[in-house]
Amino acid sequence: MKKKYIVKSLLAALAVVLILTGCASNGGSKKNDTEGSSKGSGVVNVFTARHYDIDFAMFDEFEKKTGITVNEIKGTAEELVERMKREGESSEADLFITVDGGVLNYAKESGVLQPIESETINGNVPAELREKENHWVALASRARVIVYAKDRVTPDQLSTYEALTDEKWKGKVLARSSSNLYNQSLVASLIELNGEEQTLEWSKGIVANFSRDPEGGDRDQAKAIVAGIGDVAIMNTYYVGQMLHSKDAEEVKVAENVGIFFPNQETTGTHLNISGIGLAAHAKNKDNALKLIEYMTSKEGQEMLTNGSFEFPTNPTAELPELLKGWGEFKKQSIDYAQLGVHNKKATELLNKAAWK
Amino acid sequence: MKFLVPGKIRHKLNGWVIISGIGALTALLPSLYILTGLLGKPNENWAHIREYMLLDYAVESLLLAGGTVAVTVIVGVVLAWLTTAYDFPLRRFLSFAFVLPLAIPPYIAAYTYGSMLSYTGSVQAFMRNTLGWTVDQRYFNIMSMKGAIVIFSLFLFPYVYLITRTFLEKHSASFIENARLLGGHPVSNFFRVVLPLSQGAIVGGASLVAFEVLNDYGVSKHFGISTFTTAIFKTWFGMYDVDSAIRLSGLLMSLIIGLFIAERWLRRRRRYHLPVNRSTPLRRMRLGRVPGVIAATCGMVIAMLSFFIPVAQLAVWAVWTYEDVWNDRFFRMIGNTLFVSAVAVALLMVVAVIAANAGRTWRSTFTLVSSKLLSMGYSIPGAVLSIGVLAVFLSIDKRLAGLYEAMGLGTNKLVLSMSLIMLVFAYIIRFLAVGFNAVDAGYDRIGDRYSEASRMLGYGMTATFFKVELPLIRGAVLTGAILAFLEIVKELPLTLLLRPFNFDTLATKAYQYASDEQIHQAAIPSLIIISLGFVSVCLYQWMGRRGKG
């Protein structure tokens, strides 16, 4: 009696395992092209930390054009790097896509990327938006700017990130929490430009001028300005773009009532947060991977991207959407983006020390 | 030290124990992997972590968890008591509605309320545009410690409510009716009879709540609260230091094991032995008109806040974004979500039953500790657990490389770690506590005597299990399965990292939008998740009712 049950349960367990492994190879990829993922014919496997619809629309477009299937695994950038690191030579990843130069550099330092060798890509993206040895190239960028209340602040009162620590902004500055990548990256860039000590002072100054403890996302900072909680906020341009196109009339009103100011135009330039793509160290579908990078950095791909996400394209030939054109030309921080990765840890520590929540 | 004598081992060592021993070992590996993080030498970042994060963040975490547990216990127990012991208008509807918040992932609730109460949200927009009021923003600021406690309490109290209600319905009748007969005042009966009697159930529910809060990252991140989990992620994502992040998780884990042991120890002498005979359900007393209306109103307010209002808001957003967001891929996502949840729940319940059964027949410190360790997966942030699971699966894959090659799959292949098996395994480890607690409670309820009688009459352990115990604990197994299903459908961090290529679920889709602050776009996947939860709760209610009749 007893044996019978145990045998039955074991058989059931075995069946489940078989079903699941079966699903792994069948349900796993979009088309029934399962073997392709291992043999390298007609697929490219992307590990991506960018979760935007526009990215997936681009993958679809690429599939249509080339017949190469794009498979993706999503996750947080650091998790994906950790996974690639642990998988080592066996890794199925061909490409790694993420937001933030610091993380891209971390991926490179972790040894999960290899140099991208393609003249087309070099032609698409200017050298300053590529890693020195081409371990990654930038796909898009967002400017981290100062957003202000149109009715209470005039642009001539604003100048630099550094000036936000001024006494006159006491109780008027808004920013989100320091666990956010964009803030870490901004601070890392300031460390690169102004040094650690000065940047710590700056962070303390900003914290002293906060109108409230950091909370919410970037959009919430814009809302807080219009609600009268603060006058100026540090946030990314592309959220303002998204709010202007929101289905919620109230959000549109908010976006219309705030101004965008590109800081540090006379000095070091406005901070850019870049998204980039890298070729996995053990890529098994290298040719297809290069084709996808070429497509994503092409004029066509870049125009699709910028129209979908309101990020700035990295290919200078791509035409900007009207909204971005309206913001005009501006001076960008010219730093080695790889340095952001080096400084990111310092930035986190420094923000902790400054008690930036 | 007490060692079992060999003869006793032979007697006690049976298939159940062996199977659960092997299972426990495998399932323990990821947790042990994380605990071993504590053993190594701390690196240069540790000093910084200790100085600037550890203590402050741990205190915030404790405040958050303590506050939430306090509120959920009060709300959950009072509601459970009210709906089992009294009759008042809307009681039937409410006793069902109080379970529904479980279908809403807390982080979605946090985004929804955060957005609703924000300056542009529906509440303030209505006041400003229709009523012409200008309001002080401070009264609408939900993104704070208090706000987080409110959000967590609204959406987690059903754990306490459900477990306590199930207990009271089935087992309290004789005690309470005696207390009533003896003329006890209802309030004093509640404190002197109901509370002590149901403390096991309350602690069970409260510990699930505490786990959820401690491992949460979504809510606290959005609200800007620095919890222990924030420290883990700042260390990992900000300082790129995985080892210290694992170390912090190990610390969190041992803290929770400590709490477990303390709880056991404190309650060691306060066990109530309940009558095992099928007790009659408690007779409900009718509340008078005024108290009845008050009870119904309070209940309605809670039900509105914890389910109907956020769902209505999400529905509005879903209408706004329908054209941009909806496409045929959602059918696939629904299929994926249902499939992986169903498989994981089925396996999880098998493991939970085996573990509970083994723990019961082979009572020893070892089984107690390992059953607790098995539940550990519930207490640590999913993202960290996922690294533990990944480590285990990659090492299995590397070990099996020769076999894969012989099977013609190619050299250097990752098979298991590229399949759904890894994700299902991770779900089981993470949510075993949910299933195990329910089954264990079921076993507690029936006691040993049925099983003993069956064994004496000649059935083996296995036959006893299938013929005697399983029918008796069917309800508990079902409760566990539904709770686990609700969890897995909403689960995010594990699904995000451990799924195979292109395996999207509803939760990952909702996250995709919410993480980019596109909360309106996240409404459609969120609503589908909620509907799945809603259907399973209905199913559960329906089966429960049928089971009674």
Rounded to whole angstroms, the Cα distance separating B410 from A284 reads 13
Whether residue A171 lies within 8 A of chain B, CB to CB, comes out as no
pLDDT of residue B530: 93
Contact B397, B417 (CB under 8 A): yes
CA A76 → CA A311, B233, B384, B505, B518, distances in Å? Answer: 20, 11, 12, 16, 17
Whether residue A218 lies within 8 A of chain B, CB to CB, comes out as yes
In b/e form, how buried is each residue of A129-148, taking b as 16+ CB within 10 angstroms?
bbbeebbbbbbbbbbbbbbb
Kindly indicate the confidence band of residue B7, based on its pLDDT and cuts at 50, 70 and 90: very low
DSSP symbols for B206-249: HHHHHHHHHH--HHHHHHT---HHHHHHIIIIIT--HHHHHHHH
pLDDT of residue B249: 85
pLDDT of residue B69: 95
**Among A14-23, B46-55, B293-302, whose mean pLDDT is lowest?**
A14-23
With contacts defined as CB-CB under 8 Å, which chain B residues touch A140?
none
Kindly indicate the confidence band of residue A164, based on its pLDDT and cuts at 50, 70 and 90: very high
pLDDT of residue A317: 92
Instruction: Report chain A's mean pLDDT, rounded to a whole number.
Output: 85
Kindly indicate the confidence band of residue B132, based on its pLDDT and cuts at 50, 70 and 90: confident
Residue B326 in this model has a pLDDT that exceeds 50: yes
Whether residue A32 lies within 8 A of chain B, CB to CB, comes out as no
pLDDT of residue A186: 92
Nearest CA-CA distance, residue A174 and chain B, Å:
13
Rounded to whole angstroms, the Cα distance separating B269 from A124 reads 74
Q: Quick one: tokens of B510?
A: 């909702």
The residue of chain B nearest to residue A7, with distances taken between CA atoms, is: B15
Rounded to whole angstroms, the Cα distance separating A59 from A38 reads 19
pLDDT of residue B67: 96
Contact A20, B419 (CB under 8 A): yes
| Full set of structural domains in chain B with CATH | 43-103+153-269 (1.10.3720.10)
Rounded to whole angstroms, the Cα distance separating B286 from B311 reads 32
Residue B365 in this model has a pLDDT that exceeds 70: no
Rounded to whole angstroms, the Cα distance separating B200 from B164 reads 9
Q: Which residues contact B161 (CB under 8 A, 6 or more apart)?
A: B75, B76, B77, B79, B80, B98, B99, B205
With contacts defined as CB-CB under 8 Å, which chain B residues touch A253?
120
With contacts defined as CB-CB under 8 Å, which chain A residues touch B415?
21, 24
pLDDT of residue B250: 86
Chain position carrying tokens 């060691």? B268
pTM of the model: 0.83
Fold that domain A38-140+273-319 belongs to in CATH: D-Maltodextrin-Binding Protein; domain 2 (3.40.190)
Report the percentage of chain A scoring pLDDT > 70.
89
Whether residue B3 lies within 8 A of chain A, CB to CB, comes out as no
Kindly indicate the confidence band of residue B268, based on its pLDDT and cuts at 50, 70 and 90: low
Kindly indicate the confidence band of residue B465, based on its pLDDT and cuts at 50, 70 and 90: confident
Contact A138, A275 (CB under 8 A): yes
Kindly indicate the confidence band of residue A314, based on its pLDDT and cuts at 50, 70 and 90: very high
A-contacting residues in B 54-83 (Cβ below 8 Å): none
CATH architecture of A142-270+330-353: 3-Layer(aba) Sandwich (3.40)
A-contacting residues in B 256-315 (Cβ below 8 Å): none
Radius of gyration of chain B (CA): 24
CA B59 → CA A116, A250, B54, B225, distances in Å? Answer: 47, 38, 9, 11
Contact B111, A182 (CB under 8 A): no
Rounded to whole angstroms, the Cα distance separating A26 from B502 reads 11
**Residue A36, helix vs strand vs coil:** helix
Nearest CA-CA distance, residue A266 and chain B, Å:
30
Rounded to whole angstroms, the Cα distance separating B388 from A171 reads 44
Whether residue A316 lies within 8 A of chain B, CB to CB, comes out as no
Rounded to whole angstroms, the Cα distance separating B461 from B13 reads 11
CA A140 → CA A94, A98, A150, A272, B42, distances in Å? Answer: 20, 10, 28, 10, 38
Kindly indicate the confidence band of residue B367, based on its pLDDT and cuts at 50, 70 and 90: low
Contact B119, B112 (CB under 8 A): no
Kindly indicate the confidence band of residue A19, based on its pLDDT and cuts at 50, 70 and 90: low
Instruction: Report chain B's mean pLDDT, rounded to a whole number.
Output: 83
Q: Which 3-state string (H, E, C) describes B149-172?
A: HHHHHHHHHHHHHHHHHHHHHHHC
Q: Quick one: tokens of A301?
A: 């791909």
Rounded to whole angstroms, the Cα distance separating A190 from A193 reads 5
Kindly indicate the confidence band of residue A199, based on its pLDDT and cuts at 50, 70 and 90: very high
Rounded to whole angstroms, the Cα distance separating B368 from B349 reads 18
With contacts defined as CB-CB under 8 Å, which chain A residues touch B397?
90
Binary contact (A247, B520; C-beta < 8 A): yes
| Greatest C-alpha distance within chain B | 83
DSSP symbols for B53-110: IIHHHHHHHHHHHHHHHHHHHHHHHHHHHHHHHEE-TTHHHHHHHTTGGGGS-HHHHH
Whether residue B333 lies within 8 A of chain A, CB to CB, comes out as no
Residue closest to B497 by CA, chosen among B412, B430, B449, B543: B430
The residue of chain B nearest to residue A348, with distances taken between CA atoms, is: B238
In b/e form, how buried is each residue of B400-433, taking b as 16+ CB within 10 angstroms?
bbeebeeeebeebbbbbbbbbbbbbbbbbbbbbb
Rounded to whole angstroms, the Cα distance separating B224 from B217 reads 10
- Annotated binding-site ranges of A for Fe cation: 51, 238-239
A6, A17, A20: best mutation site toward chain B, by most B Cβ within 10 Å? A20
Contact A273, A256 (CB under 8 A): no
Nearest by CB to residue B15, choosing from A2, A83, A246, is A2
Nearest CA-CA distance, residue B265 and chain A, Å:
36
Kindly indicate the confidence band of residue A120, based on its pLDDT and cuts at 50, 70 and 90: very high
Residue closest to B374 by CA, chosen among B20, B18, B9, B38: B20
Contact B48, B57 (CB under 8 A): no
Distance of CA A86 to the CA centre of its chain: 23
User: For A24-69, what is each residue's pLDDT tens digit?
Assistant: 444 344 443 433 444 445 899 999 998 888 899 999 999 999 999 9
pLDDT of residue B545: 67
A-contacting residues in B 365-394 (Cβ below 8 Å): 383, 386-387, 390-391, 394
Q: How far apart are the first and last CA of chain A?
A: 63
User: Counting beta carbons within 10 angstroms of the beta carbon of residue B537, is it exposed (0 to 12), middle (13 to 18) or buried (19 or more)?
Assistant: buried
Q: Quick one: tokens of A264?
A: 């540090």
Average pLDDT for residues A254-272, to the nearest whole number? 91
With contacts defined as CB-CB under 8 Å, which chain A residues touch B419?
20-21, 23-25, 28
Whether residue A128 lies within 8 A of chain B, CB to CB, comes out as no
pLDDT of residue B9: 43
pLDDT of residue A176: 92
A-contacting residues in B 138-177 (Cβ below 8 Å): 141, 143-144
Contact A106, B240 (CB under 8 A): yes
Kindly indicate the confidence band of residue A17, based on its pLDDT and cuts at 50, 70 and 90: low
Residue B296 in this model has a pLDDT that exceeds 90: yes
Nearest CA-CA distance, residue A345 and chain B, Å:
4
Q: Which residues pair with A96 in a beta bridge?
A: A47, A278
| Percentage helix, strand, coil for chain A under 3-state DSSP, each rounded to 5 | 50, 15, 30
User: Counting beta carbons within 10 angstroms of the beta carbon of residue A234, is it exposed (0 to 12), middle (13 to 18) or buried (19 or more)?
Assistant: buried
Average pLDDT for residues B147-175, to the nearest whole number? 88
pLDDT of residue B2: 41
Kindly indicate the confidence band of residue A232, based on its pLDDT and cuts at 50, 70 and 90: very high
Residue A298 in this model has a pLDDT that exceeds 50: yes
pLDDT of residue B240: 82
Rounded to whole angstroms, the Cα distance separating B296 from B300 reads 6
Residue closest to B53 by CA, chosen among A352, A345, A357: A352
Average pLDDT for residues A334-350, to the nearest whole number? 84
**Among A181-195, B3-17, B179-193, whose mean pLDDT is lowest?**
B3-17
Whether residue A5 lies within 8 A of chain B, CB to CB, comes out as yes
As for the ipTM of the complex, it is 0.76
B19, B502, B508: best mutation site toward chain A, by most A Cβ within 10 Å? B502
Q: Quick one: tokens of A308?
A: 């979908």
Residue closest to A321 by CA, chosen among A310, A330, A332: A310
Contact B215, B379 (CB under 8 A): yes
With contacts defined as CB-CB under 8 Å, which chain A residues touch B343?
16, 19-20
Domain A38-140+273-319 shares a fold with domain A142-270+330-353: yes
Rounded to whole angstroms, the Cα distance separating B362 from B344 reads 26
- Extents of the domains making up chain A: 38-140+273-319, 142-270+330-353
CA B385 → CA B62, B438, B498, B505, distances in Å? Answer: 21, 23, 11, 19
Binary contact (A20, B502; C-beta < 8 A): no
Q: Which residues contact B346 (CB under 8 A, 6 or more apart)?
A: A16, B481
**Among A96-100, A146-150, B276-280, B377-381, whose mean pLDDT is lowest?**
B276-280
Nearest by CB to residue B420, choosing from A24, A92, A176, is A24
The residue of chain B nearest to residue A30, with distances taken between CA atoms, is: B502
Q: Which residues contact A14 (CB under 8 A, 6 or more apart)?
A: none
Nearest by CB to residue B410, choosing from A38, A184, A246, is A38
Let me know how long chain A is.
Answer: 357
Residue B373 in this model has a pLDDT that exceeds 80: no
Alpha helical stretches, state H, B447-469:
449-456, 461-464
Chain position carrying tokens 């089981």? B428
